[in-house]
Amino acid sequence: MNVLLRTASLGALSLFLLSGCQSAKDKAMCPTASILASTSALTAFKPGMQGDPAGELYTVQITGVQVSCSFDRDEGTTDSNLDISFRATRAPSGDGANYTAPFYVASLLTGTTIVGKQILATAFSFAPGEATTTFTQNVPSTVIKFDNGRKPYEYGLLVGLQITREQLDYNKKTGRYTP
């Protein structure tokens, strides 16, 4: 998966770019945050029905990311706070349900080299009869330490759902992203 991230991250940085810091001066010191298109959707299946559209349990997608940060010139670090927006869908059901989806936040140098990665999880629920839910997950601290001679704008943050090769292939097959 790391090879996939390295290969796809360059193109992905131009996609879904949503960032915002406290001021224009602070924004110049904040890493940008992007969503990796190929890992922006995850489909979970009923047991024994992997890859069968009739067996889809739910699909969750990352729909946006906002970043704010603090910059410490003396230490040569930024500490970013991310708010990641999600949308989950399922077939209409009379039952409520609770799920958890894994996602990642990767720190990048010049858009192609992964210098750090956190794998996290977000929990979400469907109320009885609900087919769609939206929610936001906060990631309160992602610290990047700049290498000697590097500038803050040379770094970025990349988010996506932690998916398997089979889920990636299913995304391609169903057109959930355009490679």
Q: pLDDT tens digits for 12-67?
A: 333 333 333 455 665 667 889 999 999 999 999 999 888 888 889 999 999 999 99
Residue 145 · residue 75 · CB < 8 Å: yes
pTM: 0.81
Domain annotation covers residue 14: yes
* Cα gap 59→93, rounded to integer Å: 14
Domain annotation covers residue 73: yes
Q: 77: helix, coil or strand?
A: strand
Dihedral pair phi/psi, residue 55, rounded to 5°: -100, 10
Residue 33 · residue 142 · CB < 8 Å: no
Domain containing residue 36: 2-174
Name the pairing type of β-strands 32-35 and 155-161: parallel
What pLDDT, on the 0 to 100 scale, is given for residue 27?
62
How many beta carbons lie within 10 A of that of residue 179, not counting itself?
9
Query: Which of these ranges, 57-61, 76-80, 87-91, has the smallest mean pLDDT?
Result: 76-80
Domain annotation covers residue 179: no
Domain annotation covers residue 69: yes
Instruction: Give me the number of domains the chain comprises.
Output: 1
DSSP symbol at 111 = T
Domain annotation covers residue 6: yes
